[in-house]
Chains A and B, each alone.
Chain A
Amino acid sequence: DQQVKQNSPSLSVQEGRISILNCDYTNSMFDYFLWYKKYPAEGPTFLISISSIKDKNEDGRFTVFLNKSAKHLSLHIVPSQPGDSAVYFCAASSRGTASKLTFGTGTRLQVTL
């Protein structure tokens, strides 16, 4: 049972445009959501997070939106840059099991020139 889903395996965006990566979850106990970025042959690196008490969190070019009623979150990257080309993982945790992250399957973003 996949509790965190990223239904788009890949996404291609032109440099300078907006990249929107989507994530859906099924477990209503999740109360913290995180995005990780992963380059080949490296470990994932933390990008941005959002608590369930918020609906938006912004950090430079990266913004995460949370729609609790739809159990949906999205990561917006504006403007997209070639260095953003990577696999992006959505992850979630709940207060009762804060030490455990549940990951989605990832979306490969390619930013083209």
Chain B
Amino acid sequence: NAGVTQTPKFQVLKTGQSMTLQCAQDMNHEYMSWYRQDPGMGLRLIHYSVGAGITDQGEVPNGYNVSRSTTEDFPLRLLSAAPSQTSVYFCASSPGGPTRAYGYTFGSGTRLTVV
């Protein structure tokens, strides 16, 4: 059981480039989220989804796009990379609903550097 798989693990981008961070889960979870972790800031929610075809903005959505065409996949798109988007990105999934006591399962992260 792979859980939550994120690719790539590392990426360097030039300012203005675009790219997609991939996230896939094999647990048939309804909820999926993207977080970024910056020093001293904890984890901040970028976008989230409560099911296929349904997405919404989190705390820091600017500069990012998401879509959820299937239950399994939740890609995060950087439209025009900026140095302020240098961070570690985590994708997470959860069965949601009454089982939210078990929280989210996180992927191992993508370390992104924008130069």
Contact = CB atoms under 8 A, between A and B. Distances in A.
Interface of A: 4, 6, 9, 32, 34, 36, 41-46, 49, 51, 89, 91, 93, 98-106
B74 interface: no
B94 interface: yes
Given A99-B48, A100-B45, A44 B106 contact: yes
B96 A44 contact: no
B33 to A, nearest CB: 7
A82 B7 CA distance: 31
Interface residues of B, number: 30
Interface of B: 4, 31, 33, 35, 40-45, 48-50, 58-59, 90, 92, 94, 96-97, 100-109
Given A32-B100, A99-B33, A89 B42 contact: yes
14 contacts: A4-B42, A34-B103, A36-B103, A43-B90, A44-B106, A46-B102, A46-B105, A99-B33, A99-B94, A100-B58, A101-B43, A101-B45, A102-B59, A106-B42
A91 B103 contact: yes
Contacts of A49: 101-103
B42 A105 contact: yes
Contacts of A42: 108-109
B97 A103 contact: no
A100 B106 contact: no
